[in-house]
Structure 1
Amino acid sequence: MGEGMKAMLAKPIQLADQVAKQAGWQCFRPECMELRTRAEKLAALLRQAARAELYERPAARIMADTERALNKAEATAARCFQSHSRLRRFFTLNPVSALPRTLALLDTALQDVAWLLSISTPHADDDDGLHGLPNIAQNEPILSQIWDHIARLHNGSLAARADAAGILASLARDNAHYAKLIIEEDGVAPLVKLLKDGTDDGQEAAATALGLLGRDEESVEKLLNAGVCSVFAAALKEPPMRVRAVVAEAIASLAHHNQRCQDLLAQTNAVRHLVSHLTAGTIQEHSRYSVTGNSSRNATPPASMTSLHSVVLAKTFSVHDGTSGFPANEPPSSSEASDGQQQAGKNQMQSVVQSVIAAKTTTNGVTGLPGRAMLTSNGLSGRGLREAEDPDTKANMKAMAAKALWKLARGHVGVCKSITESRALLCFAKLLEQGAGGAGTDLQFYSAMAIMEITRVAEHNLALRQSAFKPSSLAAKAVMEQLLRIVSKGDDDDDLIRPCITALGCLARTFTASETRVVGPLVELLDDRELPVTKETVVALTKFACTENHLHVNHCKAIVDGGGAPHLVQLVYLGDLQIEALILLCYIAMHVPESEELARAGVLAVLLWASKQAHMVQDLRVETLLADAKGRLELFQSRSSISVIH
């Protein structure tokens, strides 16, 4: 017991002794004898409490109430037992009505202290039942349950602690107020300890509870101060896979609400372990990989080829050696590639993975890139345990790892750099290709969201964009192929399409002039789609058409050639995306004002109409852009061709 708790108990013990000494020795009233009896019992319980390891949160409130009750009892006894003659003391007028009230307060204190001892004292049988409702929790009965289960986390057996953690997790899941109460009543520290030292069931329950407690930034901050990040990072490596999956989900929850969680986890090995779980079973182990082929140039790279650039060059030579069916310096057209790329996509994905993995290892199995940590499980025992897990558990582990990486990567350059320097981009591409139904759908969605967050950071970070999404990067090509496949497919899964559209828009400045397959599928999504998908599409196309994009003319022509102008005109007139559609239309009018498609779509009329709409002109994004676009378009198109808008 700490010194603070001893000091908290000292005053009530002294008061109880004083009341017992004053009451009953020379007074013949039965009430005074009852006062003495209760004071003696209370003093005995308080001394017993001083020898126990008390749960401090309820103990502080109980001791405060007990001290107030003893102060009142001491004042009542003092009025009866002042230094007078025995006869005067016998006839002293003392309000008898105060004695029953004082006795009731002492009875309440006795019950509360007894309850405190019952929850603070470990029992051999670890009684799973509740210890009753203390008087101090009458106004909020749930507080008694929270105290009881937190106390069991402190002094119960491992099985009792696991049950208590599970009940606290249920309470936190049901009600946000209960989650705050658990944090306020110091429930985080024993949960963290259970996650470190508990049984498998206890660790799983503790991780679940900790994830559910972090519902807002303030709550997560308290969890971080309790050292939860370092424990999470360690738990991703040691416990069984089902526990690690829950830990990964908890990391995702905490990272969603507090950015400092991203900083702290980025300083640990959490990202490394999450990537390891993501790649396990999706990408073969590094020792099994070699770059195979029909020619000698496709053989396993020599020890000197230890850089990713060397392997990229080797892979480029093999692809352009006539095996792909396209000239080495000429990209395939969309019509030529539509059948061939779909057939070769799956075969090339495995080859891409092999090339990048071979770049990270040498022929003797030692890490080829200095300073790059291995991301696979160390030792046959760990790999064997992982392979022994049931498929549902492994699928859930991958889904939660992808979800955690998504949340950790959001707006964090360091985490995004760690992910892109590993095999995670290739793994995300593979999961986008494989996922179908059930857990696969979650894997696809979480992978797409992770890619979206990484590309959002890369859009505004030149170094990350150049290192992770350079045109020669095979991992970036694999990701782009899968994003483009999903967008081109255009199925009804809007939740999956939206992050893919956003990611393509964020990568708009990374595409070369020879890449002409991206804009067309995006333009097709402008036609009769749900509002969220249409909005993401317009925003993405704006990033292709804006002046900051060095290929803006090419992209604007592609948008017009794909039939985007009529759709944008309709969105400006009638849609809920008037401002966004108008901005994109202005960029197109500025960069390709001579287009006949713009004239047939009546774009100039739209711009003239928009310039008279107050809510459009007042938008700061539109004010200057609209005037410039209208002026450029008037130079190339005649006003006589404008239809009158009523």
Structure 2
Amino acid sequence: MATTATVTVTPTATTVTEYEKSLQEGLSLPILLADRVIKAAQEAESSKSECADLVRQVEHLSQMLRSCVRLAASTQSLYDRPVRRVVADVTKNLDRALTLVRKCKHTGVLRHVFSITTSADFRKVSSLLESSIGDMRWLLTIFDSEETNLSLPPIASNDPILAWVWSLISTVQMGQIKDRIDAANQLASLARDNNRNKKMIVEEAGILPLLKLLKESTSPDAQIAAANALFNIGNDPETVRLIVDVSGVPIIVGVLGESSMKVQTAVANLVAQMADVDSIAQEDFVRENVTRPLISLLCTDMVLELPKAPSTTKTSILSIVQMNKEMTEKSTSKYHNQVSSNSDGSSRVGGHSKKERDVEAPEVKLKVQIAYAEALWKLSKGSLLCCRKITETKGLIGLAKIIETERGDLQFNCLMTVMEITEVAESNAELRRAAFKTNSPAAKAVLDQLLRVIQEESDSKLQIPAIRSIGCLARTFPAKEKRMIGPLVGLLSNRNVNVATEAAVALGKFVSPENFNCAEHSKAIIEFDGVPPLMRLLKINDQAQFHGLVLLCYLALSAGNSKALEQARALHAIEGAARSVGPQHPQLKDLITKAVNHLTLYQAAAHPHRQSYAP
């Protein structure tokens, strides 16, 4: 749209010229028409009184149009959507007036032919011109920063919200700072009310003025109002894509790294929502390195260094204390230098934010951290690039420490971020090996907290992402690693069916034939007495039965000679579950057949006449 040239980027001289030319041409046409109407009315040979009345209206319109031209020429960033709509309507009405008054010049027979409905036409055209005068009067007042305009223009009489939206967007783009804040807040409220209002704000070019307010304003209240309005507008893929297309992502990332804490909260919420609803926006944010300010801000005042493995050399307790003190001081200094240096220009966290953080209320600090963590969670979902950026920094350590020390939404958001990273790592061996190798301090810190959550927490909302994360990393654990197996087996008996089912899913990844150590992990599950609770899981509901059956089949394939499976009558259980689950999940047919045949080999003595199972 025409106003986009001056909002987010510095336009070239050619762009500005074309924009000004286009607007000037749009305004010059009705002015020329007005002059022609006046001239034609003065030459009228009939209905002179009616023509004189029209001339007065047209002269009034002409003056207003010229005022609009002067306004457009003197205003650096004119919001032109209502200008173009109103001027187009005025032009149409002036054209009708010109056609009418030209009829009044004819004499003789032609005069009688063309003047049959002249009186009615004059009343109709006069009414249209009066409406145009009302539109122009309203148009000029909304651009007057010193005048409050609560009137409704005739052009928007059938849709009052349109006039309101025009007025608010115009104020956001051209008004004084206090008025811009109020207008942005009202746009946010309108967008929140219903989708029609939101769509109208978008169609009437409301996104760019809000981005401009967010980027250029030195008022935190103005930036918060702009961010909140964009948040309420950008809640669907189509609208988010529009924000992306007008270079909104670099603006948002820049504000996030440089603004006050309250602004950062609103902007981080906006990042989270945009990344959640549109994958293009998600990847654009990651490419703009939004993860760096998010991690830096999330982990402010946190020591992100883990102590190295102790040396075999004998060291006194005093030396250890001194070494730990030096390590902490070095880490803190290194971190603050890092977040202040802003080497890539996209994520500066300057001294102002640090000072503000020191004096800010605890609840404000918590709120902004929750927003940072949610943004990282939404950015990480399915994004290999984002997960790499987080794991290549000290992000995993920071997430682990927050999971350990915090509670509520902050802990949950960090757990969800870890879960998204592990889900990406499950399907990407390179990321899995780089970020979660067994001797990595960051990986160990994360795994310790995941285990702690599933063992100590009782809230399934926290347990489930921790269980899924461990399951996604199943292929990283060596054959002798049983630390993860025991707690997961214990959850098979959990009273919450969803938790028990998630445990079965995770254990299934440990004993899947795709896992190189499936045989050893299967033995571990049996050693931890996992078969009895698994058999009970098969009797609960469809989902639990499905995942329980998969796990039991895997155990049968890897540990078919187990006494525990025989005593639990696993063969009978698989066959029974297959009859109820098999028809609904035909993809299990081959797995069930292999498991039954494998168990039959070891239990043939107990069932001498059994035939091979074929569902």
Under a length normalisation based on structure 2, what TM-score does the superposition of the two structures give? 0.85
Where does residue 536 of structure 1 map in the other structure? 502
RMSD, aligned CA: 3.4
Q: Is contact 2:253–2:347 with CA below 8 Å preserved after alignment?
A: no
How many residues end up aligned between the 2 structures? 577
> Which residue identity does 2:483 align to in structure 1?
R
Q: Is contact 2:173–2:213 with CA below 8 Å preserved after alignment?
A: no
**Matched ranges for 1:91-490 at <5 A:** 92-119=115-142, 121-123=143-145, 125=146, 127=147, 129-198=148-217, 199-281=219-301, 283-284=302-303, 314-315=308-309, 317=311, 382-436=353-407, 441-490=408-457
% identical equivalent positions? 35
Of 545, 558, 564, which aligns to 1:591? 558
What SS class does the counterpart of residue 96 from structure 1 fall into?
helix
Please list the CA deviations of residues 102-139 of structure 1 after superposition, one character each: whole Å capped at 9, or x if unmatched. Answer: 111111111112212221x232x3x5x55322223233
Where does residue 334 of structure 1 map in the other structure? none
Please list the CA deviations of residues 387-411 of structure 1 after superposition, one character each: whole Å capped at 9, or x if unmatched. Answer: 2222222111211111111111111
Residue 551 and residue 57 in structure 1: after superposition, are their counterparts in 2 closer, same or farther (change >3 A)? same
Answer yes or no: is 1:68 the counterpart of 2:86.
no
Please list the CA deviations of residues 5-26 of structure 1 after superposition, one character each: whole Å capped at 9, or x if unmatched. Answer: 2222222222222222222554
Q: Is contact 2:169–2:209 with CA below 8 Å preserved after alignment?
A: yes
Where does residue 2 of structure 1 map in the other structure? 20
Where does residue 3 of structure 2 map in the other structure? none
**Cα deviation, residue 226, structure 1:** 1.6
Residue 140 and residue 600 in structure 1: after superposition, are their counterparts in 2 closer, same or farther (change >3 A)? farther
Q: Measure, in 2, the Cα distance between the counterparts of 1:361 and 1:205.
A: 35
**Cα deviation, residue 166, structure 1:** 1.3
Q: Measure, in 1, the Cα distance between the counterparts of 2:424 and 2:258.
A: 31
Residue segments in structure 2 that go unaligned for 5+ positions in a row: 1-18, 73-77, 611-615
> Which residue identity does 2:197 align to in structure 1?
Y
Please list the CA deviations of residues 158-210 of structure 1 after superposition, one character each: whole Å capped at 9, or x if unmatched. Answer: 11111111111122223233222212211111111111121110011111212
Q: Is contact 1:565–1:598 with CA below 8 Å preserved after alignment?
A: yes
Where does residue 16 of structure 1 map in the other structure? 34
Q: Is contact 1:593–1:632 with CA below 8 Å preserved after alignment?
A: yes
Of 29, 47, 50, which aligns to 1:31? 50
Where does residue 511 of structure 2 map in the other structure? 545
Q: Measure, in 2, the Cα distance between the counterparts of 1:201 and 1:379.
A: 20
Q: Is contact 2:141–2:149 with CA below 8 Å preserved after alignment?
A: no
Q: Using the TM superposition, name which of 628-637 and 604-613 deviates more.
A: 604-613
Please list the CA deviations of residues 446-492 of structure 1 after superposition, one character each: whole Å capped at 9, or x if unmatched. Answer: 1001001111111111121111111011111111011111101240x
> Which residue identity does 2:138 align to in structure 1?
W
**Cα deviation, residue 633, structure 1:** 0.7
Q: Is contact 1:425–1:476 with CA below 8 Å preserved after alignment?
A: yes
**Cα deviation, residue 247, structure 1:** 0.9
Residue segments in structure 1 that go unaligned for 5+ positions in a row: 292-313, 324-346
Residue 458 and residue 359 in structure 1: after superposition, are their counterparts in 2 closer, same or farther (change >3 A)? farther
Q: Using the TM superposition, name which of 513-522 and 556-565 deviates more.
A: 556-565
Under a length normalisation based on structure 1, what TM-score does the superposition of the two structures give? 0.82
Where does residue 13 of structure 2 map in the other structure? none
Q: Is contact 1:69–1:106 with CA below 8 Å preserved after alignment?
A: yes
Residue 316 and residue 543 in structure 1: after superposition, are their counterparts in 2 closer, same or farther (change >3 A)? farther
Residue 639 and residue 443 in structure 1: after superposition, are their counterparts in 2 closer, same or farther (change >3 A)? farther
Q: Measure, in 2, the Cα distance between the counterparts of 1:320 and 1:450.
A: 40
Q: Is contact 1:196–1:203 with CA below 8 Å preserved after alignment?
A: yes
Q: Is contact 1:275–1:375 with CA below 8 Å preserved after alignment?
A: no
**Cα deviation, residue 354, structure 1:** 5.6
> Which residue identity does 1:59 align to in structure 2?
V
Q: Is contact 1:28–1:90 with CA below 8 Å preserved after alignment?
A: no
**Cα deviation, residue 30, structure 1:** 3.5
Please list the CA deviations of residues 221-256 of structure 1 after superposition, one character each: whole Å capped at 9, or x if unmatched. Answer: 100112111111111222111101111111001100
Please list the CA deviations of residues 572-605 of structure 1 after superposition, one character each: whole Å capped at 9, or x if unmatched. Answer: 3441213222212111111111122222322211
**Matched ranges for 1:541-580 at <5 A:** 541-577=507-543, 578-580=545-547
Q: Measure, in 2, the Cα distance between the counterparts of 1:587 and 1:414.
A: 33
> Which residue identity does 1:79 align to in structure 2?
K
Please list the CA deviations of residues 26-52 of structure 1 after superposition, one character each: whole Å capped at 9, or x if unmatched. Answer: 445543322222122112212221222
Where does residue 40 of structure 1 map in the other structure? 59
Q: Is contact 2:511–2:554 with CA below 8 Å preserved after alignment?
A: yes
Residue 110 and residue 432 in structure 1: after superposition, are their counterparts in 2 closer, same or farther (change >3 A)? same
> Which residue identity does 1:565 align to in structure 2?
V
What SS class does the counterpart of residue 582 from structure 2 fall into?
helix
> Which residue identity does 1:213 align to in structure 2?
I
**Cα deviation, residue 520, structure 1:** 2.2
Q: Is contact 1:520–1:562 with CA below 8 Å preserved after alignment?
A: yes
Q: Measure, in 1, the Cα distance between the counterparts of 2:268 and 2:579.
A: 53
Residue 221 and residue 105 in structure 1: after superposition, are their counterparts in 2 closer, same or farther (change >3 A)? same
Q: Is contact 1:131–1:148 with CA below 8 Å preserved after alignment?
A: no
Residue 599 and residue 531 in structure 1: after superposition, are their counterparts in 2 closer, same or farther (change >3 A)? same
Q: Measure, in 2, the Cα distance between the counterparts of 1:5 and 1:229.
A: 29
Please list the CA deviations of residues 493-532 of structure 1 after superposition, one character each: whole Å capped at 9, or x if unmatched. Answer: 2221111111111111112233312122222323254444
Residue 358 and residue 500 in structure 1: after superposition, are their counterparts in 2 closer, same or farther (change >3 A)? same
> Which residue identity does 1:410 align to in structure 2?
K
